[in-house]
């Protein structure tokens, strides 16, 4: 505000938004500091006043991605404490949908493009918080008898691994057509998840 600076006041954020737009429109390979700068309407070297290097910008974009994923997961299942099994499935489905709707961003967040996430505190914080969301849900599933007993964090890891692996292989087109053609994706995910949940069905021996 005030006297109107050189730029619009929040170039840092504009660059992050520009980066996310580039990812959505042109994919990971098109993401460059220079193009983000151009989209934000500044010179190609202006970003270096706000980010130490490209990795630093990538960390900021990934952090924003995790914030959105976290929000998406949080609002995935209605706070319906009764139907906890459904809630686990809906959470997993929210994760899958986020990845499909934000392919390039999801890739940036999880594909080693950010070389050392631990160096970026904000990134480390929000990604850990997202994991805690899952640990919490797992704990409630255990209490409901839907999952085996055992350390909730290890079990959460199993489930997150399962869902994350499912998404990764899906995005990489590593899931064969014959499987995908058998029915809707959400159902396949539910079946896959079902492998890890306790069955309480017909053949109870």
Partner DNA sequence: ACCTGAACACCGTTCAAGT
Using CB under 7 A as the criterion, which residues of the chain lie in contact with DNA when the complex forms?
5-7, 11, 30-35, 37, 42-46, 48-50, 53-55
7 binds, among DNA, its own copies, none (CB under 5 to 8 A by kind): DNA
Three-state SS string over 164-194 comes to HHHHHHHHCCCCCHHHHCCCCHHHHHHHHHH
Size of the site for its own copies (CB under 8 A): 46
Nearer to its own copies, 42 or 120 (CB): 120
Residues 20-49 that bind its own copies (CB under 8 A): 27-29
- Give the one residue of 102, 110, 133, 137 binding its own copies; rule: CB under 8 A: 110
Q: Is 188 in the site for its own copies (CB under 8 A)?
A: yes
Nearer to its own copies, 46 or 135 (CB): 135
CB-neighbour burial class of residue 122 (10 A; exposed 0-12, middle 13-18, buried 19+): middle
Write down the least CB distance from residue 161 to its own copies, Å: 4
Question: Each residue of 22-55: b (16+ CB within 10 Å) or e?
Answer: bbeeeeeeebebebbbebbebeeebbeebbeebe
Tokens of 132: 């805690």
């Amino acid at each position: 505000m005030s006297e109107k600076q050189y730029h619009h006041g929040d170039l840092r954020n504009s660059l992050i938004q520009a980066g996310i737009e580039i990812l959505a429109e042109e994919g990971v390979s098109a993401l460059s500091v220079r193009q983000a700068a151009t989209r934000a309407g500044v010179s190609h070297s202006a970003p270096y006043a706000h980010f130490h290097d490209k990795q630093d910008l990538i960390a900021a974009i990934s952090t924003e991605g995790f914030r959105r994923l976290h929000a998406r997961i949080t609002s995935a299942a209605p706070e319906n404490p009764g139907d906890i099994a459904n809630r686990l499935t809906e959470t997993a489905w929210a994760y899958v949908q986020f990845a499909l709707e934000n392919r390039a961003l999801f890739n940036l967040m999880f594909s080693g493009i950010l070389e050392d996430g631990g160096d970026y505190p904000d990134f480390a914080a929000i990604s850990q918080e997202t994991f805690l969301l899952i640990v919490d849900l797992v704990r409630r599933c255990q209490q409901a008898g839907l999952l085996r007993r055992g350390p909730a964090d290890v079990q959460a890891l199993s489930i997150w691994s399962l869902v994350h692996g499912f998404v990764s292989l899906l995005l990489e087109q590593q899931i064969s057509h014959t499987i995908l053609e058998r029915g809707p994706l959400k159902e396949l995910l539910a079946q896959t998840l079902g492998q890890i949940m306790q069955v309480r069905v017909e053949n109870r021996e």
